[in-house]
């Protein structure tokens, strides 16, 4: 958690390309106190000091500014969902950690800057299951999952698909348990409700973005 003095320094640097020490330090603040917080920001890589003695925001500092006033629980973050079919079964993963502990859904991950999403997803799939399969991008959209009035999950999801006929043992790890589930069992109460609709979306010829909302106590699609 950043100190309010450190937040003020970052906010000042956000409005300029670079600043001198004297530009950043409030006139009525003790120099030792201010220097401590300035050095802390440098040590934590929020700011950088160039050869001319000027201070600038680092990439980490710029990222902080971008998200300075955001409520991360209400901002959609981008993920990919890997939907693998084997005959009339789907590859599922039971969550062994929060959030949504005990519920099952498709294997997911996050895109990585500088790497094609298909490459990132293929690595994720192999890491979590041992399966090495060609994947394709299907479509994307928003998925909200709420419990009462609380937001449990809000994601911009990119759907990736793959098919296999392999009869292989799929390993588990500390964060999840993998298994195959028949289409007829997809409406089980412990399955994330979005899974059924995602399967329907895959079967559809339409490629338009989707916007889905679910309540864990009741199913609602908008």
CATH of residue 187's domain is 3.90.79.10
Residues spanned by the domain of 116: 77-215
Q: Are residues 136 and 195 in the same domain?
A: yes
Q: Among 44, 63, 54, 42, which Cα is nearest to 16's?
A: 54
Q: What is the pLDDT along the chain (222 residues), one digit of tens a residue?
A: 788 899 899 989 988 889 999 999 999 999 999 999 999 999 999 999 999 999 999 988 888 887 676 555 567 789 999 999 999 999 999 998 877 888 999 999 999 989 999 999 999 999 999 899 999 999 999 999 888 878 888 899 999 999 998 776 677 888 899 999 999 999 888 999 999 999 999 988 777 899 999 988 644 443
Q: What per-residue confidence (pLDDT) applies to 77?
A: 85
154: in domain: yes
Beta pairing class for 55-57 and 47-49: antiparallel
Contact, 210 vs 201, CB < 8 A?
A: yes
22: in domain: yes
Q: Are residues 102 and 60 in the same domain?
A: no
Q: What per-residue confidence (pLDDT) applies to 217?
A: 67
Domain end marker among 18, 45, 66: 66
205: in domain: yes
Largest pairwise CA distance in the chain:
72
Domain end marker among 16, 40, 66: 66
Q: Are residues 106 and 142 in the same domain?
A: yes
121: in domain: yes
Q: Are residues 46 and 123 in the same domain?
A: no
Q: Are residues 55 and 31 in the same domain?
A: yes
CATH number, position 45: 1.10.10.10
Q: Are residues 94 and 194 in the same domain?
A: yes
Q: Are residues 17 and 117 in the same domain?
A: no
Instruction: Match 């106190």 to its residue by tokens.
Output: 33
Q: What per-residue confidence (pLDDT) applies to 198?
A: 96
What is the number of other CB atoms lying within 10 angstroms of the CB of residue 37?
Answer: 20
What is the number of other CB atoms lying within 10 angstroms of the CB of residue 189?
Answer: 7
210: in domain: yes
């Amino acid at each position: 958690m950043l100190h309010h003095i450190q937040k003020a320094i970052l906010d000042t640097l956000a409005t300029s390309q670079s600043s001198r020490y004297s530009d950043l330090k409030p006139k009525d603040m003790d120099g030792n106190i201010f220097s401590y917080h300035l050095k802390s920001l440098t040590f934590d890589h929020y700011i950088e000091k160039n050869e001319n003695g000027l201070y600038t925001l680092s990439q980490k500092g710029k990222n902080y500014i971008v998200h300075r006033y955001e409520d991360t629980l209400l901002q959609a973050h981008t993920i990919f969902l890997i939907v693998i079919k084997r005959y009339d079964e789907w590859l599922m993963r039971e969550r062994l950690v929060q959030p949504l502990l005990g519920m099952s859904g498709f294997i997911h991950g996050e895109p990585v800057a500088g790497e094609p999403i298909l490459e990132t997803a293929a690595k994720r799939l192999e890491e979590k299951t041992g399966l090495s399969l060609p994947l394709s991008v299907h479509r994307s959209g928003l998925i909200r999952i709420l419990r009462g009035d609380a937001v449990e999950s809000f994601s911009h999801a990119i759907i990736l698909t793959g098919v296999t006929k392999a009869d292989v043992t799929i390993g588990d790890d500390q964060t999840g348990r993998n298994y195959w589930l028949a289409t007829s069992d997809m409406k089980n109460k412990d399955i994330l409700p979005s899974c059924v609709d995602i399967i329907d979306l895959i079967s559809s010829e339409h490629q338009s973005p989707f916007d889905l909302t679910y309540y864990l106590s009741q199913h609602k699609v908008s």
